[in-house]
A and B are shown apart, each in its own frame.
Chain A
Amino acid sequence: MRRARILFAAVFVVLAGVRAGSAQSLPSGPLELANGQVTVAADVAATIGARDNAPPPECSRRCGAFFNYTDYQHNALRMFRVSLSGAWRPSRRFAFLTEVRSEDGEHFRPYALYFRVRPWAARAFDVQAGRIPPVFGAYSRHVYGPDNWLIGQPLAYQYLTSLRPDAIPASADDLLIMRGRGWLARYPVGSATSGPGVPIITAYQWDVGVEASVATQHIDAAAAVTSGTLSNPRVDDDNDGRQISARVGWKPFVGLVIGGSYAHGEWLNGALRNGLSSVIRSGQRFPQETFGFDAEYSRDYWLVRGEFIRSRWRLPALSSPFIDGPLDATAAFVESRYRFTPRLFAAARLDGLTFSRISSEKFFNGVPTTWDAPVGRVEVGGGVYIQRNLIVRAVVQRNWRDGGFIHKRTFVSGQIAFWF
């Protein structure tokens, strides 16, 4: 209730501000301090949607579908988000950058905090260190503000699978019973408390490490060494393992960008792995390995982009029926935007997420079954620019899932977003 009050108050304040002034009355550019060396920007988005709970008979009691829950356990279609970012550029070759975010009125969390240096002024070669943006894929670097045409996020970057780095299934049965329950998974090995699973790549947290990038007219490349993984970025390293990730992008001509990415890093929690030292081989690793392709094409009033991502986690095989091989997840989405007029645009995203199969003795009559419930999603919407940096948008999102308590759910959501 408190969150709802905050949300509606924020919407009222923004709308009142727009109404009171002219269309260009809100700040349109970043705040500048120290003669332009320091810039501060903000991004505020109030998203309104129905509660994610269903009455009987869909559930025996009211229950959520959790299609849009993030790893911070907030609903992406019903959220009030404030983001503040800042940059200090003491020289043309050096910069400190940071961003803090608050969701649903909770305390601000540091999202980015790093420095950037360009060793040679004449070469587009940069090094960044700290809590840095991910190099993998394309979507993770344009999640908010005008870069996300819709309200929801692609499944690969948001949907919570049933895997957890701090608690694992002992057998295939333990894993299959959690199909479609990634928002609150519980396993017999590791942490005894229930907790959310991980998406393939989290769009809501960044990793800590060092990254180097180089760019030419047609090629750009970046590589990073970080302490966490794509699905479990970490500030502190909890398993003495590093992730190596890289992306190479190619721009054959203006308007087309094609990219290929790869990431490999130790994923399983170190304390959990140490606790299993009697049953796993010394030095045995349990990484997340991911590769992906992304592409974007734009022309005139059209923009189309998409990504294909395949990720693989390895878990210890502890008891029968064993989880024999790696657990794969494959996601793909394609999204498009068309701008009808200077103010009005429409957008749509087609999204899918599926998983590799494992065999169980207790469930599904022994027939190999996907280890998590495959999900499909279509999101269609549009928006109106009230001014360049103030946008109102609405979407309809349809979800399908082959498992869990709720198999289908349609959401309608509206958002007002302002940034400067």
Chain B
Amino acid sequence: MKLTHAFTILSCAVLLLGSMQREQRSRAVTGTIRGRVDVRISGTSELRPDVAALGMHAAHDRPDRRRSVVYLETAPRAAFDPSEEQHARMDQRHENFVPHVLPIVAGTTVDFPNDDSTYHSVFSLSKPRPFNLGRYAAGRSKSVRFDEPGIIRVFCDIHSHMNAFILVFTHRYFTVTDEDGRYRLGNVPAGSYTLTVWNETVRGDPPRRAIAIAPEGGDIDADFTIR
């Protein structure tokens, strides 16, 4: 009987200790990185001269090539802990992929619903995850799971001007800039990191900057300009 009591008390103590440790972890000091990525590019067409057409090309939305992805090149160890399987979505709307840039964590399944009244045929030849979804009509959706990190270029086999990017990361410390180029990367644990910016217009090495989140946390401003 005594043994049973002792075991019960010990179990409660272990659970309490674990709970305290988890709470302590959640209260761990973190910082926020924020700023603006100023992308100075001109031209947004992507549409080839449609010489063989009998009229104007149907109106279509244009991708926002000013969107950038800001991410940490190296991440805290906890960022690599296995997490629940995630879903993301890339619509085909008005002959445009929405969003144009989609960062995800490896293991995420992306749905590709067709919201247009015409066929689309989504495919990619990118090495990390080549795929071809074939032609499917409005209201239907097909999915692809991305397990390997890397950059996936997505195209439509029917509409050559349609293209998008999926960036697959091994960690969760990334974010996309908003329409003004602003971004906010929160809950970054204290430590030293390299902050990197990806934009489709950048050729060669991407802009990067060394940053450090102080042990007491706090905010860091980091602006970038891409010409």
Q: Which residues of A contact B (CB under 8 A)?
A: 23-24, 28-30, 32-33, 35-36, 39-41, 85-87, 93, 95, 97-99, 111-112, 116, 118, 124-126, 128, 133, 135, 141-143, 146, 211, 213-215, 217, 220, 222, 254-255, 298-301, 303, 339, 341-343, 385, 387-388
The reply to whether B45 and A30 contact each other, CB–CB distance below 8 Å, is yes
- Asked if A124 meets B119 with Cβ closer than 8 Å, knowing A141-B53, A298-B135, the reply is no
The reply to whether A342 and B55 contact each other, CB–CB distance below 8 Å, is no
The reply to whether A116 and B55 contact each other, CB–CB distance below 8 Å, is yes
The reply to whether A135 and B51 contact each other, CB–CB distance below 8 Å, is no
Complex-state Cα separation, A222 to B53, whole angstroms: 11
Q: Which of B51, B123, B124, B130 contacts A112 (CB 8 A)?
A: B51
- Asked if A133 meets B54 with Cβ closer than 8 Å, knowing A35-B43, A342-B123, the reply is yes
Q: How near does chain A come to B209, taking the closest CB pair, in angstroms?
A: 25
Q: Which of A36, A124, A141, A220 contacts B44 (CB 8 A)?
A: A36
Measured CB to CB, the nearest residue on chain A to B155 is: A388
Binary CB contact string for chain B from 123 to 159 against chain A (1 if under 8 A, 0 otherwise) = 1110100111011111000000000000001010100
Contacts of A112 in B (CB 8 A): 51-52
Complex-state Cα separation, A97 to B50, whole angstroms: 8
Within 8 A of A (CB), among B42-73: 42-56, 58
Contacts of A222 in B (CB 8 A): 54-55
Chain A to chain B: the 3 pairs with minimum beta-carbon distance, closest first:
A126-B55, A87-B49, A32-B43
Complex-state Cα separation, A303 to B193, whole angstroms: 50
Binary CB contact string for chain B from 31 to 47 against chain A (1 if under 8 A, 0 otherwise) = 00000000000111111
Number of A-B contacts (CB under 8 A): 120
Complex-state Cα separation, A87 to B118, whole angstroms: 25
The reply to whether A85 and B51 contact each other, CB–CB distance below 8 Å, is yes
The reply to whether B127 and A23 contact each other, CB–CB distance below 8 Å, is yes
Please tell me the number of chain B residues within 8 Å of chain A, measured between CB atoms.
37
The reply to whether A36 and B42 contact each other, CB–CB distance below 8 Å, is yes
Given contacts A220-B54, A342-B123, 7 further A-B contacts (CB under 8 A): A39-B47, A39-B48, A87-B50, A97-B50, A98-B51, A141-B52, A254-B138
Contacts of B160 in A (CB 8 A): 146
Contacts of B43 in A (CB 8 A): 32-33, 35-36
- Asked if A126 meets B56 with Cβ closer than 8 Å, knowing A39-B49, A97-B50, A300-B136, the reply is yes
The reply to whether A99 and B54 contact each other, CB–CB distance below 8 Å, is no
Contacts of B163 in A (CB 8 A): 28-29
Measured CB to CB, the nearest residue on chain B to A127 is: B55
Complex-state Cα separation, A184 to B65, whole angstroms: 54
Complex-state Cα separation, A41 to B51, whole angstroms: 10
The reply to whether A343 and B54 contact each other, CB–CB distance below 8 Å, is no
The reply to whether B55 and A254 contact each other, CB–CB distance below 8 Å, is no
For A125, A298, A300, A342, which residue has the most chain B Cβ atoms within 10 angstroms?
A342
Interface flag for B187 (CB, 8 Å): no
Measured CB to CB, the nearest residue on chain B to A251 is: B118
The reply to whether A116 and B56 contact each other, CB–CB distance below 8 Å, is yes
Contacts of A99 in B (CB 8 A): 49, 51
The reply to whether A124 and B55 contact each other, CB–CB distance below 8 Å, is yes
The reply to whether A124 and B137 contact each other, CB–CB distance below 8 Å, is no
Show 6 residue pairs from A and B whose CB-CB distance is below 8 angstroms, ordered by the A residue.
A29-B48, A36-B45, A124-B55, A255-B137, A300-B136, A388-B125
Q: Which of A30, A128, A211, A217 contacts B48 (CB 8 A)?
A: A30
Q: How near does chain A come to B124, taking the closest CB pair, in angstroms?
A: 7
The reply to whether B118 and A254 contact each other, CB–CB distance below 8 Å, is yes
Binary CB contact string for chain B from 148 to 185 against chain A (1 if under 8 A, 0 otherwise) = 00000101010011010000000000000000000000
Q: Which of B48, B54, B117, B134 contacts A301 (CB 8 A)?
A: B134
Contacts of A214 in B (CB 8 A): 55
Contacts of B119 in A (CB 8 A): 254-255, 298
Contacts of A41 in B (CB 8 A): 48-49
- Asked if A87 meets B51 with Cβ closer than 8 Å, knowing A124-B58, A341-B132, the reply is yes
Contacts of A146 in B (CB 8 A): 160
Contacts of A141 in B (CB 8 A): 52-54
The reply to whether B49 and A255 contact each other, CB–CB distance below 8 Å, is no
Complex-state Cα separation, A23 to B160, whole angstroms: 18
Complex-state Cα separation, A220 to B55, whole angstroms: 10
The reply to whether A30 and B47 contact each other, CB–CB distance below 8 Å, is yes
Contacts of B125 in A (CB 8 A): 23, 342-343, 385, 387-388
Q: Which of A32, A301, A342 contacts B130 (CB 8 A)?
A: A342
Contacts of B52 in A (CB 8 A): 112, 133, 141-143
Contacts of A36 in B (CB 8 A): 42-45
Complex-state Cα separation, A387 to B49, whole angstroms: 20
Q: How near does chain A come to B70, taking the closest CB pair, in angstroms?
A: 22
The reply to whether A118 and B134 contact each other, CB–CB distance below 8 Å, is no
Q: How near does chain B come to A212, taking the closest CB pair, in angstroms?
A: 9
Contacts of A39 in B (CB 8 A): 45, 47-49
Measured CB to CB, the nearest residue on chain A to B158 is: A298
For B43, B48, B51, B137, which residue has the most chain A Cβ atoms within 10 angstroms?
B51
Q: Which of B54, B132, B155 contacts A213 (CB 8 A)?
A: B54
Measured CB to CB, the nearest residue on chain A to B52 is: A141
Complex-state Cα separation, A24 to B203, whole angstroms: 12
The reply to whether B45 and A32 contact each other, CB–CB distance below 8 Å, is yes
Contacts of B134 in A (CB 8 A): 299-301, 339
Complex-state Cα separation, A36 to B117, whole angstroms: 27
